């Protein structure tokens, strides 16, 4: 069973058309939820960290929110340069040691001029 599921897999919007990307997760205890942006052929670029339900973070046209089961990345009035793959990742609380991130497959977003 996937721990992190992102939807939709792909999304095509017109410039200025606002929308939301979804990330649902199933972990026993959440240490943190992370959003990244990835452009083709490049490494993921960090956007936001969310730690607890009800938390919100904003950066330019992006706003991330978190509930106990899912996170949304809201994109307001997007521009063509917002086109990218958006990745969601979680880090689970564990008894000890270090944990890396568990990623979803991403949402491929295309903003048409």
Partner 1 sequence: ETGVTQTPRHLVMGMTNKKSLKCEQHLGHNAMYWYKQSAKKPLELMFVYSLEERVENNSVPSRFSPECPNSSHLFLHLHTLQPEDSALYLCASSQEARGTEAFFGQGTRLTVV
Q: Which chain residues interact with partner 1 by CB under 8 A?
A: 4, 31-32, 34, 36, 41-46, 49, 51, 87, 89, 91, 97-106
The least CB distance from residue 9 to partner 1, in Å, is: 10
Query: Which is closer to partner 1, CB of 31 or CB of 69?
Result: 31
The least CB distance from residue 38 to partner 1, in Å, is: 9
Query: Which is closer to partner 1, CB of 78 or CB of 106?
Result: 106
Residues 6+ apart with CB under 8 A from 64: 35, 47, 48, 50, 56, 57, 58, 71, 72, 73, 74
Query: Which is closer to partner 1, CB of 76 or CB of 102?
Result: 102
Q: What is the DSSP string of 93-109?
A: --SSS----EE---EEE
Torsion of CA 85, 3, 51, 11, to 10 degrees: 30
Tokens standing for residue 7: 């939807």
The least CB distance from residue 34 to partner 1, in Å, is: 6
């Amino acid at each position: 069973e996937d721990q992190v599921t992102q939807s939709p897999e792909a999304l095509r919007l017109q410039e200025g058309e606002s929308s939301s990307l979804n990330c649902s997760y199933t972990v026993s205890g959440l240490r943190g939820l992370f959003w990244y942006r990835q452009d083709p052929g490049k490494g993921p670029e960090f956007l936001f960290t969310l730690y607890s339900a009800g938390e919100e973070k904003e950066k330019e046209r992006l706003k991330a929110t978190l509930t106990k089961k899912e996170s949304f990345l809201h994109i307001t009035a997007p521009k063509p340069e917002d086109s990218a793959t958006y990745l969601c990742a979680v880090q689970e609380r564990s008894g000890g040691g270090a944990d890396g991130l568990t990623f979803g497959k991403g949402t491929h977003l295309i903003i048409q001029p």
